[in-house]
Amino acid sequence: MMVRLQHQKKKKKKKVFIDDKHRCKIGEPGFPVAAVEHGKQVVVAKNETFAVVDHDFTKCSLIPSVMMICDVPNNIEDSFYKGKVKIGLKDAIFQDSNSLRHMTEFYDILINTKLDHPFLMLYTDGSPDHKNTFLRVQLTLIAMFVILNLDYLVAVRTPSGHS
């Protein structure tokens, strides 16, 4: 049903994939951060000391936020993974990951790219900031539906960690 609707309404809708990726820990100047777990072996040059800061105690980390506005293909056998990709960086301490922040970023991108389609299909992972069974996520989706003057909104949640 979903694929059939996507092809019937191709000219009038957009499909969007949204996800926050893994936290990137950032060390201080002169103090690199370990990219491996405790006790794991690493390759080091002979007569070198492997000295790094513990990755559990960094002062700063960034979260890359990725959004792809999909070009829906004319043929069902073609790839749905073509389109415009937008990437933003968030400070993990001062810019927490929540549904309102995601929808605000999403709204900005839609307005700046002049996407004025009455149909919107949104694919997200199952993390708490996207989980559409939570009331706060449902309220942000309703707000997007009203603000963008949509005729049809589909919010699909994929399994957490499988995006």
Residue 106 C-alpha from the chain's centroid: 10
Lowest-confidence region among 49-58, 69-78, 82-91 = 49-58
Specify the CATH architecture of the domain 2-22+65-157: 2-Layer Sandwich (3.30)
- Give the rounded percent of residues in the chain with a pLDDT score beyond 70: 76
Note the pTM of the prediction, 2 decimals.
Answer: 0.61
pLDDT at 69: 82
